[in-house]
Amino acid sequence: MSTFIQLHVLTNYPPSNLNRDDLGRPKTAVMGGHQRLRISSQCLKRAWRTSDVFENALKGHIGTRTKVIGHEVYNTLVQGGINEKDAKNWAISIAEVFGKCKKDSFEIEQLAHFSVNEKQAIDSLTKTLIQEKRAPLEEELNLLRKNDTAVDIALFGRMLADKPIFNIEASAQVSHAITVHKVAVEDDFFTAVDDLNAGEEDLGAAHLGEAEFGAGLFYLYVCINKDLLIENLGNNETLAKKAVRALTEAILTVSPTGKQNSFASHTYALYLMAEKGTVQPRSLASAFLKPVEAVDMASAAIDELKKSLENFNKVYALKNDYREINVLTGEGTLETILDFVS
C-alpha cells in the first residue's frame, strides 16, 4: 500500500501575468460556472525544478531537458579533432539513442529529459571516440538508465516515444492552480517616453502598448507517491527524503518567472495543509466550486478548505495525519512541515 503526501496550498498573487496563453493573456479556466485565473502545472513544475531551492538541495541530482544534445556532442567531437562528416554521423547515432532525429539534423524530434548519469555516459563515450578516433560501437550506445538519481525525472516522469522501456512514471502529480474566486482579466495601457526627445517638435510618447493581467488567491493541489519516488530513485530513501523536502519548499516559496520584471509578483504561500497517509488521494478543489466572495477572502478560503476536508473524511470514513502553516495567524513553521512530509 502506497504512502501519499498531499499538499493543499493557497497562494495570493498580486497583479501579474505569470503564465500566458498564445495571445499573451493570463491563462484562465471556467469552474463552477465562473472564469478563474489559472497557472498550468507545466509552468509551476518548470519554476520549481529550475529554482535555487532545488539546485541548493539537490545539486548533482538534477537532469537536463533538451532536444539539442547532438549539437553538443558534434561540437565536442570537432573541437577534439574529428572531421565534420564523422562527427556529424557519430553525434546523430548518440542523439538517436534518446529519440529520432529530424532529417539531416542533430536535433531530436521530442524533448528528452537526460539524467546526470546519462549525461556523464554521453560525455565519457564522446571522449573515448576522440581519443580512439573511431565510431561508437553498438554496445557502447546503451546510454539510457532506468533507475537513476535524477530527482526531477523521478518526481515528474519521463516519456521517450521510441524507447518506452525507459519511460519513468511520475511520482508527483500537480494540478493547475486556479483562483478560489471569479475573476476578469484586466488591460494595462502603457506608454514609453523617449529620453532624448526634447519636446520641441513632438510631445507624444515614443511607444504605446497594452498588456493584460490578473490578480487572485490560487488553490494548488500536489500529490506525491512516496513509495514510487523511492523506487524511481533506485530505492535511495535518503535522496527521496531530500527530494520531498526540496519540492515542498519550492512549492511554498518559488513563483513562476513570467512577467516578473513588469509586475514583481514574487510571493510565498499563505496557507498549506499537508496530509500524509495511505488512503486514496483526493483534491479539495471542490471546496471552491462556489466562488469565495468574502471581504476577508484568505480566511474564508481556509475555512472552506478545512470544511471540505472534514466532510470528505466524515462521508468516506477517511483518516489522514496532517499539519498546517498559516501566515495569516502565524501558526506553524516551514521546518516543521518539511520534517513532517519527509
Q: Which amino acid is at 3?
A: T
Other residues' Cβ atoms within 10 Å of the Cβ of residue 21: 12
Whether 35 and 17 map to the same domain: the answer is yes
The answer to whether residue 202 sits within a structural domain is no
HSE at residue 56, side-chain half, CA atoms within 13 A, is 7
The answer to whether residue 333 sits within a structural domain is yes
CA distance 337 to 105: 48
The answer to whether residue 201 sits within a structural domain is no
pTM higher than the cut 0.75: yes
Q: Which amino acid is at 253?
A: T
Residue with grid cell 558534434, as numbered in its chain: 74
Q: Are 337 and 325 in contact (CB under 8 A)?
A: yes
The answer to whether residue 125 sits within a structural domain is yes
Whether 175 and 298 map to the same domain: the answer is yes
Whether 111 and 173 map to the same domain: the answer is no
Give backbone dihedrals phi and psi of 139, rounded to 5 degrees, phi first.
-70, -20
Whether 229 and 308 map to the same domain: the answer is yes
CA distance 270 to 258: 20
Whether 262 and 304 map to the same domain: the answer is yes
Whether 255 and 333 map to the same domain: the answer is yes
| Three cell numbers written together for 100 | 529520432
Q: Are strands 4-16 and 207-225 parallel, antiparallel or unpaired?
A: antiparallel
DSSP letter assigned to residue 35: E
Below-50 pLDDT ranges, the chain: none
Whether 137 and 176 map to the same domain: the answer is no
Please list, in sequence order, all residues whose beta carbon lies within 8 angstroms of the beta carbon of residue 52, skipping any fewer than 6 positions away.
none
Q: How far is CA 38 from the centre of its chain?
A: 15
Whether 240 and 280 map to the same domain: the answer is yes
Domain count, the chain: 2
pLDDT at position 59 is 94
Whether 77 and 133 map to the same domain: the answer is yes
The answer to whether residue 174 sits within a structural domain is yes
HSE at residue 293, side-chain half, CA atoms within 13 A, is 5
Buried b (16+ CB within 10 A) or exposed e, 142-160: ebbbeebbbbbbbbbbbeb
Q: DSSP characters for 105-172?
A: -SSBSS-EEE-HHHHHHHHHHHHHHHHHTSPPPGGGG----SS-S-HHHHHH-B--TT-GGG-B--SE
Buried b (16+ CB within 10 A) or exposed e, 113-131: bbbbbbbebbeebbeebbe
The 10s digit of each residue's pLDDT in 272-329 is 999 999 999 999 999 999 999 999 999 999 999 999 999 999 999 998 899 999 999 9
What is the torsional sign of CA 290, 293, 294, 297?
A: positive
The answer to whether residue 193 sits within a structural domain is no
Q: Are 116 and 60 in contact (CB under 8 A)?
A: yes
Closest CA to 210 of 19, 12, 23: 23
CA distance 272 to 39: 18
Whether 268 and 336 map to the same domain: the answer is yes
**Containing domain of residue 130, as a range?**
65-149
Whether 255 and 300 map to the same domain: the answer is yes
The 10s digit of each residue's pLDDT in 44-86 is 999 999 999 999 999 999 999 999 999 999 999 999 999 999 9
CA distance 139 to 18: 46
Whether 101 and 30 map to the same domain: the answer is no
The answer to whether residue 160 sits within a structural domain is no
The answer to whether residue 28 sits within a structural domain is yes
